[in-house]
Structure 1
Amino acid sequence: MSLTDIDSYNCSNRRNLSRSIELFGRGQRVITGGNARLAVFQRPHPIYFAKGRGVHLVDVDGNRYLDFLNNFTTLIHGHGCRPLLDRLHDQLELGVSFSGPTELEVEFAELLCDRVPYFDQIRFMNSGTEAVMYTIKAARALTGRPKIAKLEGGFHGSYDPVEVSLDSAPANWGSQSAPSGTPYSTGMSESVVADTVVLPCNELRASREILEASKDRLAAVLIDLLPQRAGLVPIDPCYLAFLREFTARHGIVLISDEVMSFRLSYRGGITRFGLEADLCAFAKILGGGLPIGAVGGPSRFMLPFDSTNGKPLVPQAGTFSANPMSMAGGIATMQCLSEQHFQRFDELGEYARSSLTEMFRQQRLPYSVTGMGSMFRIHLRPEAPENYREAYATPEQQKRMGMLIWALQERGVIVSPTCQLCLSTPMSTDHIDEMVTSVREAAQMLEAA
């Protein structure tokens, strides 16, 4: 089978997917593109799920899968966590949303400020995209400057300034030492691209020169401590220390996108990396599977959101911001998440990465693994990438990855479209062993093809 056959490649020779095929056909008639989330679209059709319990998902045809995606790292307790379900059921009886605040948002904000030592205050919103957007608005309000800087290949949600150079390719990404700003979506304003400075992650000297040239116009530097689109390669501590010193010296707001990296420790990635960012954006695990976003930081950086003395510098509202269901889900999730869970995540994550690496070595498969804590990613290259450009998948590699993902689904394992995996608290070494066996079989099938 050639790589060009991916559109017609159908794994249903082992699993009946007739209902998924039917639903995708129905969806194509009434939903643009067939389904409502780009991230879950795949060829020849996505798999439609019906329910989940613990570490498993069941699709509409009754097939069962090990869930190593957990709704893109969101479900840190897997599916059907009993304390979470009980708390949500209780709140459902009381009401799902009101035109006023509730005690829950105060309780949840207190919990988060207690957990992350240098946080003074929190603001809640509805998604990671919103959280990142409002950190940038706050930074511009605090500094009076228009530009932001971000790392090449960094994903920070669907907001024009942070989508610049999200998906750069060899044809347009420029030099390693001076990456070009490239639009992600058609029609992106040239001024948006011009106001976004792109940094080569972990390249200290080049980043210093780029930042020096724009320092008087920069409102913020936006980082992700473990950038998933850039290969799930951690930020180098020396590079991070440089960014912290440079931004503090020049009055630039340092923003940490913790939407995914809050998974890295009990108090978030910032604590694991020893960073005191000026503002942090949160989402995903924070809501226990419900829509949520949050911004946190010291009170002086949260000041733009303050409305007690009139119109705030940055008005932030949202009909569903701090809604009772998301607050209840978040409180239950965080209360069930102990420091011991994160110690276990580190152990299981290292077991998964080392098991995959050893299997690739034994089978002579030209693959590698990156990641940290409860997250890891498989790359179709023999040496682990060290930056976005090395992690970039060519069109041929993307087709191969698509086939690998379908083959894993056929064997009952769900991963992300970039072959990123994550753990949940119900998982054990047995689940990891099962996943590694499935990866070995799928990779052998792919190499044979």
Structure 2
Amino acid sequence: MLTEIAAGDAVALCRSSQLFARGQKVFPAGVTRATIDREPHPIYVARGEGAYLVDVDEARLLDLNNNFTTLLHGHGFKPVVEAVCELLAAGTCFSNPTRYEIALAELLTSRIPAIERIRFVNTGTEAVMFAIKAARAFTGRSAIARFAGAYHGAYDWAEAGQNGFDIRLDGSRNARLGYRGAPSEIANDVLVLDFNDADGLDDTIAAHASRIAAILIDPMPSRAGLLEPQPVFIERIMDVANRHGILIIADEVLNLRQSYAGASARYRLKPDFVVAGKIIGGGFPIGAIGGNAEVMSVFGGDPSSPVVSQGGTFSANPVSMVAGLKAMEAATPAVFDRLERQGDWLRAELSAVARKHGAAFSVTGAASLLRIHPRATPPTTYAEAAPTPPDIAAMRSLSRHFREKGILLPHDAAACLSTPMGDDELEHVVATFEQFLVD
């Protein structure tokens, strides 16, 4: 009998491994997203329950990933589930518009100061791509400036510089392209800057100002380390852009969750375009480009020949619109305030634990976002945040420890909170971190 039970457990415990073996036969690298952790194999999910997910082996994990910050209200949020279930029988997509897209647009334009007009697409990558196209069309210029290390999706011009830059023989910077075989000319139209380098903005931008359509900025770049923007840096960006007729694109696909009005409002950045996604879809695919009426006019004009043609078979599909509307209606100022308090407490406690044990770890982030770094001092630049091989090994070890203790922590330790989380969940995170440092 014991032998039979042990054999059954062995089969149950390796279901994720079995699924990965099947995936390797049909997907490159066995998965369909490069961001999936495959050490030793992906965790395949069976279902989500509020702040938790349950994998195919019935392990219950506190979810600090929330599909890369998308799920502000966690899994199975009842208002979204009920609204989507009611909608499904009426139709999931049409070539014609529906009232649902207007309702979500009205909500977003009413709370995000920089958005007067908006267009919906399907992903954050699409939204960034169309924002860049719109800036080019409005200014008549082709180049963009962006900050090293920030992630802006997979559009070639947004991807260049994501991994920093190389120095040319003349001392200028050459944006590193996103993949082998990418057109080398792209680097000529992407100026790579350093986040929080206020003093370096003036001269660098001025030398190329006549070609630059827009400065693309994530107000608190997640991939680059959740770096807190310095007020003087934000002020200098706006001053330089205004003096040279350059537009500002704020990529808030991830960081819109920083406040009721988004990240730009939080840091007093006044962008011409705001790119949104993730939380505004309520768990369904979405992206959006918003801005003032003047710059957004490039999407309008003669319907047969707009300055920038933006379509998309599933853009503004009613499922994403309804789900997003319900999720955002529930994201009230009180909800954001509560998440802010929880985030402040968690970041402070994690930092205190690291200091208590003399461990070389620090924590960055804001509102419901946090990131643990394997360094004693919180980074303020991408160069400081960029992990070394030992750093990567340390963070993977941390992620494995968290998983063993029932917490899903992304391997780069960039985490987020969701509204179903309470004191017990936050205390569990702190205790697990301390145990890692002690062990």
- On whether the aligned pair clears a TM of 0.5, the verdict is yes
Q: Distance in 2 between matches of 1:181 and 1:22?
A: 41
Q: 2-side partners of 1:179 and 1:427: how far apart?
A: 44
CA deviation profile, 1:100-159 (whole Å, cap 9, x unmatched): 111111111111111123422110000000000000000000111110000111111111
Match of 1:405 among 385, 399, 405: 399
Letter in 1 for 2:82: D
Q: Deviations over 1:215-268 (max 9, x none)?
A: 000011000111011110121111111111211221111100010111111011
| Alpha-carbon displacement from aligned partner over 1:165-198 (angstroms, at most 9, x marks no partner) | 21238xx4789x9654212211121111121000
CA contact (8 A) 1:178 1:199 kept: no
1:227 maps to amino acid:
P
> What SS does the aligned partner of 1:340 have?
helix
- Tell me, in whole angstroms, the C-alpha distance in 2 between the residues paired with 1:415 and 1:356: 14
Distance 2:302 2:112 in 1: 25
1:23 matched to 2:19: yes
Counterpart of 1:135 (choices 113, 131, 135) is: 131
User: What are the ranges of 5 or more consecutive residues in structure 1 without an aligned counterpart?
Assistant: 1-12
Given that 1:148 and 1:221 are in contact with CA atoms closer than 8 Å, whether structure 2 keeps it comes out as yes
Structure 2 residue 43 is matched with structure 1 residue 47: yes
Instruction: Report the Cα offset of residue 417 of structure 1.
Output: 2.8
1:342 maps onto 2:336 in alignment: yes
Q: How far does residue 404 in structure 1 lie from its aligned partner after superposition?
A: 1.7
Q: CA deviation at 1:327?
A: 0.3
Task: Note closer, same or farther for the CA distance 1:104–1:201 as it changes in structure 2 (3 Å cut).
Answer: same
The alignment yields a C-alpha RMSD, in angstroms, of 1.9
Q: 2:55 matched to which residue of 1? A: 59
Mapped contact 2:372–2:413 kept (Cα < 8 A): yes
Q: Residue deviations 1:309-367, cap 9 Å, x none?
A: 53111100000000010000010011111001111111100100011011111122211
**Offset, 1:395:** 1.9
Please name the residue that 1:84 is paired with: 80
Q: Which residue, 297, 306, 316 being the options, matches 2:300?
A: 306
Deviations 1:10-66 (A, max 9, x none): xxx999740011111110011111011111132221111110111010000000000
Residues 333, 222 of structure 1: CA spacing in aligned structure 2 closer, same or farther, 3 A cutoff?
same
CA contact (8 A) 1:25 1:34 kept: yes
Q: In the alignment, is the contact (CA less than 8 A) between 2:174 and 2:188 conserved in 1?
A: no
* 1:32 maps onto 2:22 in alignment: no
The correspondence for 1:365, drawn from 359, 380, 383, is: 359
Deviation at residue 438 of structure 1 after TM alignment: 1.5
Q: Does 1:280 align with 2:310?
A: no
Q: Is the 8 A contact 2:174 2:187 kept in 1?
A: no
- Change beyond 3 A, Cα 1:304–1:363: same
3-state DSSP of counterpart to 1:157: coil
Q: SS state of the match for residue 197, structure 1?
A: strand
Question: Quick check: 1:228 aligned with 2:228?
Answer: no
SS state at 2:316 partner: coil
Matched, 1:114 2:110: yes
Give the Cα separation in 1 of the matches to 2:200 and 2:31: 41
Secondary structure in 2 matching 1:167: coil
3-state DSSP of counterpart to 1:194: helix
1:159 aligns with 2:150: no
The match for 2:206 is 212
Instruction: State whether structure 2 residue 433 is matched by structure 1 residue 433.
Output: no
What letter is aligned with 1:232?
L
CA distance in 1, matches of 2:389, 2:32: 24
Determine the C-alpha separation between the residues in 1 that align with 2:286 and 2:370.
Answer: 24
Question: Letter of the aligned partner of 2:342 in structure 1?
Answer: L
Which residues of 2 match residues 362-401 of structure 1 at below 5 A? 362-401=356-395
Give the structure 2 partner of residue 263 of structure 1: 257
C-alpha contact (below 8 Å) 2:220/2:229 kept by paired residues: yes
- 1:368–1:380 CA contact under 8 A, matched in 2: yes
Q: Is 1:147 matched with 2:143?
A: yes
Q: Return the alpha-carbon distance in structure 2 between the equivalents of residues 173 and 426 of structure 1.
A: 47
User: How many angstroms apart in 2 are the aligned matches of 1:365 and 1:173?
Assistant: 35
1:290 aligns with 284
Give 1:95's aligned residue.
Answer: 91
Separation of aligned partners in 1, 2:413 and 2:104 = 33
Q: Say yes or no: does 1:248 pair with 2:242.
A: yes
Task: Tell me, in whole angstroms, the C-alpha distance in 2 between the residues paired with 1:289 and 1:305.
Answer: 27
CA contact (8 A) 1:179 1:200 kept: no
**C-alpha contact 2:114 2:273 (8 A) present in aligned 1:** no
Q: Which residue does 1:195 correspond to in 2?
A: 189
Equivalent position amino acid for 2:236 in 1: F
Structure 2, gaps ≥5 residues long: 1-8
User: 1:304: how far off?
Assistant: 1.0
Cα shift at 1:98: 1.0
User: Secondary structure of 2:24's partner?
Assistant: helix
Partner SS state of residue 386, structure 1? coil
Residues 287 and 173 from structure 1, CA distance in 2 versus in 1: closer, same or farther, beyond 3 angstroms? farther
Cα separation, 2, equivalents of 1:341 and 1:308: 42
C-alpha contact (below 8 Å) 2:164/2:192 kept by paired residues:
no
Aligned to 2:4: none
Work out the number of aligned pairs and report it. 430
Alpha carbons of structure 1 residues 299 and 222: separation in structure 2 relative to 1, 3 Å:
same
